[in-house]
Amino acid sequence: MASPIEFFSRNGAGPKGVPRSPRYAQIVGWGMAVPDRVLTNHDLALMVDTSDEWIRTRTGIAERRISSGPKETTSVLAVRAAREALRVADVPASALDLIICATSTGDYIMPPTACLVQDALGASKAGAFDLGAACSGFVYALSMARGAILAGDADYVLVIGAETISRLINWNDRQTCILFGDGAGAVLLAASPEPGGVLATTLGADGSGGELLWVPAGGSAHPSSHETLANGLHNLRMDGKAVFRFATRVMAEATREVAAKAGWSLEQIDLVVPHQANQRILQSSVVNQLKIPESKVVSNLERYGNTSAASIPIALCEAIEQGRVRPQQNLVLVGFGGGLTWGAVAVRWCAPVTPHPTRWWKTAQRQVGYQAASLRSWWRRSVRRVYTFALGPADEATPRGRLRISVDRWRERRFGKR
Ligand code: COA
């Protein structure tokens, strides 16, 4: 039996049997944002029974960034990273077709954080959704974005990994509170005829391990209640040893698999950008098992800890900034996390890494665009509020109700039935 791909390619993949011209998903922009507030191992040693030496030797982490207060939310960090990615690519927000935000710590259960980003950017023609695959979320999102581009459904897709995981932490649990930090990273994917970009992906999951890394309450299984709060069920819980064993196995497997799909040997990989969870995991999976030299593995967890879905794009941005990424290099981005989930993408880097200098008027134009977006958002919210509260429910018996009915009729004539 022919595979679906063989079947469709035999029967003409393009419209009316015309072969599609090749399309690639290239990374053309990147950006990151982390909170200013630094929490060091020494600070943590004042909070729980731990020490700088223990944390450094067991994890490689020295400090992490923690979002400060209710104003520095996941969407706020995501918007900062996204604007930077658009600036680097020199692409306006109005060109975006899709925004995917990988996060487990969105601002709300509803609306999706990606929609808050869409609104703040003024990306008026973009669809937007959140993707929940825990720390593997960014790799999953890249894979979805590539699919949308290769299918011809989108030309520009903004992929974000953003977290304020500190909000889920039990600051008395020394096993978890030492590991995590907050931040956001974003890349802009663009459709291109030039061969390269995100060439191959591999994704995996094992739901039987869901309870190894989870937040028990807040979902439909255990909605928020006095009891869930009293029992600390809204905090992140982890079986560290089991996650460690799982991580070292899948990181190596996923890297091998995606390299093979891209047609590369392990020696042909120029740079691995792994999920930043623990230096010992990187060492035993990528370096020891795959024999990829440490010099080819990006690690910045000393300064940021584990920022979950944000860790890979943040590490990628820093690697670019440090001049470790160059055109025509082969990159593997590989992650794992709660779910259990894992995944990897193979990228042939094509974008110039010294972005053209931004002219002042371009910066001003962007700022004006973002101000206009927030003004438009404010205007729409105000109109809705006035409409809902001032006019009240449609009711023939009251003057406000009759006014509402007339306004509804006028809107229907003016804008059609909605
Ligand atoms: N400070 C000091 N001691 C600590 C400690 C801390 N923060 N956390 C645990 N310990 C103690 C334990 O109580 C234990 O003491 P005991 O031997 O007297 O019982 C000892 O240190 C060893 O604990 P253990 O759990 O075996 O440590 P470990 O070497 O497995 O390291 C983790 C613990 C959490 C750092 C490690 O298991 C890990 O990184 N796992 C993966 C987690 C991860 O990546 N999660 C995110 C996935 S996206």
Determine the atom of ligand 1 nearest the C-alpha atom of 241: 37
Nearest CA to ligand 1 atom 3: 50
Q: Indicate if the pLDDT at residue 2 is higher than 80.
A: no
**Which residue matches tokens 């042909």?**
268
Q: What is the pLDDT of residue 358?
A: 74
User: What is the tens place of the pLDDT at every residue in 193-213?
Assistant: 999 999 999 999 999 999 999
Q: Indicate if the pLDDT at residue 354 is higher than 80.
A: no
347 neighbors 223 (Cβ within 8 angstroms) = no
Q: What is the pLDDT of residue 418?
A: 59
Determine the atom of ligand 1 nearest the C-alpha atom of 174: 7
Q: Are residues 186 and 113 in the same domain?
A: yes
Q: Are residues 86 and 37 in the same domain?
A: yes
Residue 59 in any domain: the answer is: yes
User: What is the tens place of the pLDDT at every residue in 229-244?
Assistant: 999 999 999 999 999 9
For residues 180-195, give the mean pLDDT: 97
Q: Are residues 191 and 105 in the same domain?
A: yes
CA distance 106 to 99: 14
Q: What is the pLDDT of residue 12?
A: 42
Ligand 1 centroid, distance to 175 Cα (angstroms): 6
Residue 374 in any domain: the answer is: no
Using pLDDT thresholds of 50, 70 and 90, give the confidence band for residue 356.
low
Mean pLDDT over all residues of the chain?
92
For residues 95-102, give the mean pLDDT: 98
CA distance 30 to 185: 7
Determine the atom of ligand 1 nearest the C-alpha atom of 338: 48
Nearest CA to ligand 1 atom 13: 175
Ligand 1 centroid, distance to 207 Cα (angstroms): 23
Q: Are residues 280 and 385 in the same domain?
A: no
Name 406's Cβ contacts closer than 8 Å, sequence gap at least 6: none
Residue 356 in any domain: the answer is: no
Last residue of a domain, one of 306, 331, 348: 348
Q: Are residues 177 and 296 in the same domain?
A: yes
Using pLDDT thresholds of 50, 70 and 90, give the confidence band for residue 15.
low
Q: What is the pLDDT of residue 3?
A: 53
Q: Indicate if the pLDDT at residue 13 is higher than 60.
A: no
User: What is the tens place of the pLDDT at every residue in 29-41?
Assistant: 999 999 999 999 9
Q: Where is average pLDDT lowest: 35-49, 294-308, 403-417?
A: 403-417
Q: What is the pLDDT of residue 17?
A: 52
For residues 129-154, give the mean pLDDT: 97
More confident: 283 or 17: 283
Residue 389 in any domain: the answer is: yes
Residue 353 in any domain: the answer is: no
Q: Are residues 78 and 207 in the same domain?
A: yes
Q: Are residues 164 and 91 in the same domain?
A: yes
Q: Where is average pLDDT lowest: 180-184, 311-315, 382-386?
A: 382-386
Ligand 1 centroid, distance to 415 Cα (angstroms): 61
Q: Indicate if the pLDDT at residue 368 is higher than 60.
A: yes
Residue 196 in any domain: the answer is: yes
131 neighbors 337 (Cβ within 8 angstroms) = no
Using pLDDT thresholds of 50, 70 and 90, give the confidence band for residue 129.
very high
Q: Are residues 50 and 155 in the same domain?
A: yes
Question: How many structural domains comprise the chain?
Answer: 2
| Residues tagged active-site | 135, 275, 306
pTM for the structure as a whole: 0.90
Q: Are residues 302 and 398 in the same domain?
A: no
Residue 255 in any domain: the answer is: yes
Q: Indicate if the pLDDT at residue 11 is higher than 50.
A: no
Q: What is the pLDDT of residue 414?
A: 82
Q: Which of 276, 278, 281 to mutate to test the pocket of ligand 1 (most atoms within 8 A of CB)?
A: 278
Nearest CA to ligand 1 atom 31: 58
Ligand 1 centroid, distance to 161 Cα (angstroms): 26
Q: Which of 56, 169, 244, 276 to mutate to test the pocket of ligand 1 (most atoms within 8 A of CB)?
A: 244
Q: What is the pLDDT of residue 403?
A: 83
Residue 91 in any domain: the answer is: yes
Q: What is the pLDDT of residue 351?
A: 86
What range does the domain containing 402 cover? 381-418
Ligand 1 centroid, distance to 286 Cα (angstroms): 21
Q: What is the pLDDT of residue 400?
A: 81
Ligand 1 centroid, distance to 46 Cα (angstroms): 18
Q: Which of 169, 175, 276 to mutate to test the pocket of ligand 1 (most atoms within 8 A of CB)?
A: 175
Nearest CA to ligand 1 atom 12: 175
Q: What is the pLDDT of residue 20?
A: 62
Q: Where is average pLDDT lowest: 71-85, 260-274, 295-309, 383-397?
A: 383-397
User: What is the tens place of the pLDDT at every residue in 42-89?
Assistant: 999 999 999 999 999 999 999 999 999 889 999 999 999 999 999 999
> For position 260, which CATH number holds?
3.40.47.10
User: Which residues make beta-bridge pairs with 213?
Assistant: 238
Nearest to 31 by CA among 89, 76, 75: 89
Q: Are residues 94 and 230 in the same domain?
A: yes
Q: Are residues 316 and 178 in the same domain?
A: yes
For residues 397-405, give the mean pLDDT: 84
Determine the atom of ligand 1 nearest the C-alpha atom of 336: 48
Q: Are residues 340 and 385 in the same domain?
A: no
Ligand 1 centroid, distance to 354 Cα (angstroms): 41
* Residues in the ligand 1 pocket, defined by CB under 6 Å: 50, 54, 58-59, 135, 174-175, 178-179, 213, 238, 240-241, 243-244, 247, 277-278, 306, 337
Last residue of a domain, one of 298, 324, 348: 348
Q: Where is average pLDDT lowest: 101-115, 308-322, 345-359?
A: 345-359
Last residue of a domain, one of 348, 366, 393: 348
Nearest CA to ligand 1 atom 47: 337
Determine the atom of ligand 1 nearest the C-alpha atom of 175: 8
Ligand 1 centroid, distance to 53 Cα (angstroms): 13
Q: What percent of the chain has pLDDT over 70?
A: 94
Determine the atom of ligand 1 nearest the C-alpha atom of 180: 46
